[in-house]
Amino acid sequence: MEVCFLSAVQGPLQAFLRPGLWFPGLNLLHTCTEQWVSTEPPDVLLDDLVHSIEAYSQLEQRESWCNIIQLHKVDRENNRVTILAYTRAEWLDVVEIDFNTGKARSFSSGIFPTFLPLAVLLNCVLFFVPFLDHGVNKKRLDKLRSLMTSAVGVDTEEQSLITNEH
């Protein structure tokens, strides 16, 4: 399953610009940041996640909030990955995971879905409009962790510090 042409063109640009994060404070309404912990080395975790995403993409039944997951950037040197996650309606969420530090973040990139013509422009102009993710970004990070064969947990003590920093 693939995204439509407009989403394929506008999605990476919107992921780069990130208008959903431009307004401090309001961006917390549609962002989830976690501190992941594991005994596995970062490079093993990165490979595990990459293989898990490839396996998930082959499934026919997927959650509507996590319909299409695309590996956008895989930086094996720094053990980082950026994922473009499209909902069934082709809203774009971006997931960034740094396995060296354990920081995982998922955020909604804009209020309008990427299949709309000029969605990137609309999202940039209306960056100040608040919107909720209804817990989708948290669910997505939970799903990615559950897909991995390596044991990965969330440091809840560190989690509260991350939430209070923003």
Per residue in 110-133, pLDDT (tens digit) is: 999 999 999 999 999 999 999 999
CA 27, CA 90: separation in Å to the nearest integer?
19
Reported in sequence order, the residue ranges of the chain that DSSP labels E, i.e. its strands, are 31-37, 68-75, 80-86, 92-98, 103-108, 153-154
The whole-number average pLDDT for the span 8-36 is: 95
At 164 the pLDDT is 43
Q: What phi, psi does 161 have (nearest 5°)? A: -65, -40
Mean pLDDT along residues 92-108:
96
Give the structural domain span for 24. Answer: 5-165
User: What predicted TM-score, i.e. pTM, was given to this entire model?
Assistant: 0.87
Give me the pLDDT at residue 63, please. 66
Portion of the chain with pLDDT greater than 90, in percent: 72
* Predicted pLDDT of residue 162: 47
Cα–Cα nearest to 139, from 87, 98, 90: 87
30-87 pLDDT per residue, tens: 999 999 999 999 999 999 999 998 888 777 566 665 678 899 999 999 999 999 999 8
Task: Report how far Cα 127 is from the mean position of its chain's Cα atoms.
Answer: 18
Task: Return the pLDDT at 110.
Answer: 96
User: What is the mean pLDDT of the segment spanning 135-158?
Assistant: 88
CA–CA distance, 32 with 104 (Å, rounded to integer):
8
Q: Give the residue-averaged pLDDT of 137-160.
A: 84
**Number of structural domains the chain divides into:** 1
pLDDT at position 157, please? 66
- The pLDDT assigned to 85 comes to 93
